[in-house]
Structures are given as C-alpha cells and as structure tokens.
Amino acid sequence: NFMLTQPHSVSESPGKTVTISCTRSSGSIASNYVQWYQQRPGSAPTTVIYEDNQRPSGVPDRFSGSIDSSSNSASLTISGLKTEDEADYYCQSYDSSNVVFGGGTKLTVL
C-alpha cells in the first residue's frame, strides 16, 4: 500500500493564490486518478477536483488541479482566495482495490 502526504496546514491572505501538495509514497502519481475534497467544519466532504484536474459543476474556476510526475505529486491550487475557502482539503487516490486518502491540509485564509 502507498501513502499520500499533505502539509498539515497552509495559510494565505484573501485574494492571493495557494497551492496544496499531495505526494505519493510509492507507485506513479500518474497511474491512478487523484481527487480533492473540501470539508468545512461540521460538514461532510464535497468534491472540488476529480480525475486529477476536472472541476464538478458549481465549483468555481478558481480551483484547479494538476499532477507532476517528476515529484510524484498532485497539487490543488486555489486562486483569488476568499474567506469561504477556509476548510480542510483532502487528496484521494487508489491502487487496484485499495483507496487512500491524504492526511488533510487545513487552509486558513487570514
């Protein structure tokens, strides 16, 4: 089994851009899709990015996803930060039948 490692926390000011990384410990990041979920306090997770870089309808285009094979990592970038973006963000991928979530990153918009 592999692990997905995320920074514990990041913070940035409103209007700025922040990038959250998700590094895969073994196996290629490109071999299985990566999803990103947003979880606000007291709420269930919701999808902000699926299949590496696809945005569900209703998710603003300020959210974007990418993968980088050289660092074996995926990234979630949020531009034009708003206070409402303050939440926990989780990456998720899989390997055959096994599903793996990253440990989560707390985004503070201050």
Partner 1 sequence: QVQLVESGGGLVKPGGSLRLSCAASGFTFSDYYMSWIRQAPGKGLEWVSYISSSGSTIYYADSVKGRFTISRDNAKNSLYLQMNSLRAEDTAVYYCARGPLRFLFDPWGQGTLVTVSS
Residue type, 34: V
| C-beta of 44 vs 110, nearer to partner 1 | 44
Site string for partner 1, 67-106 (x = CB under 8 A): -----------------------x-xxx--xxxxxxxx--
Which of the 8 DSSP states describes residue 84? Answer: G
* Residue (of 75, 91, 96) closest to 3 by Cα position: 91
Could you identify the residue written with the tokens 């793996």? Answer: 100
Stretch that binds partner 1, among 17-25, 47-55, 64-72, 74-82 (CB under 8 A): 47-55
Structure tokens at 49: 């990015």
Smallest separation, CB 99 to partner 1 (Å): 4
Smallest separation, CB 45 to partner 1 (Å): 6
On whether the CB atoms of residues 25 and 5 are closer than 8 A, the answer is: yes
| C-beta of 47 vs 79, nearer to partner 1 | 47
Rounded to whole angstroms, how far apart are CA atoms 52 and 24?
13
- Interface residues toward partner 1, by CB under 8 A: 32-33, 35, 37, 43-47, 50-51, 56, 90, 92-94, 97-104
